[in-house]
Amino acid sequence: MTALVKEISQLWGEYLDGCEVKADDDFFALGGNSLIGIRIIDRVTRDYGVELSVRDFYLAQTPARVAELIEQGRAQR
């Protein structure tokens, strides 16, 4: 697990009532909903300086995939 995936997993855990989140855990299976998703997206934008669309976030579904999107966004800058 890369450092970024670990950070994203921990971030999700903060918003999902402190549950332990693994790299390939599904956001919705963990109890995620649209309000939590929007909060995470806002935090990712603020902390990583990368725009992440709501659609992309929900399609990604896992911390590992969200980390990939953040890396792609960084590469495009």
User: Per the structure, how many domains does the chain have?
Assistant: 1
Question: What residues contact residue 28 under an 8 Å CB cut-off, 6+ apart?
Answer: 61
Domain of residue 33, residue span = 3-76
> Could you tell me if 36 and 16 are in contact, meaning their C-beta atoms sit under 8 angstroms apart?
yes
| pLDDT score, position 55 | 95
What predicted TM-score, i.e. pTM, was given to this entire model?
A: 0.91
CATH classification at residue 62 = 1.10.1200.10
* Percentage of the residues of the chain whose pLDDT score is greater than 70: 97
Rounded to an integer, what distance in angstroms lies between the CA atom of residue 14 and that of residue 59?
21
For 23-49, the pLDDT digits (tens) are 999 999 999 999 999 999 999 999 999
pLDDT confidence of residue 59: 95
Tokens read off for 75: 């590469």
Please measure the distance between the N-terminal and C-terminal CA atoms of the chain and give it in whole angstroms.
24
- Of the pLDDT bands very low, low, confident and very high (cuts 50, 70, 90), residue 77 is low
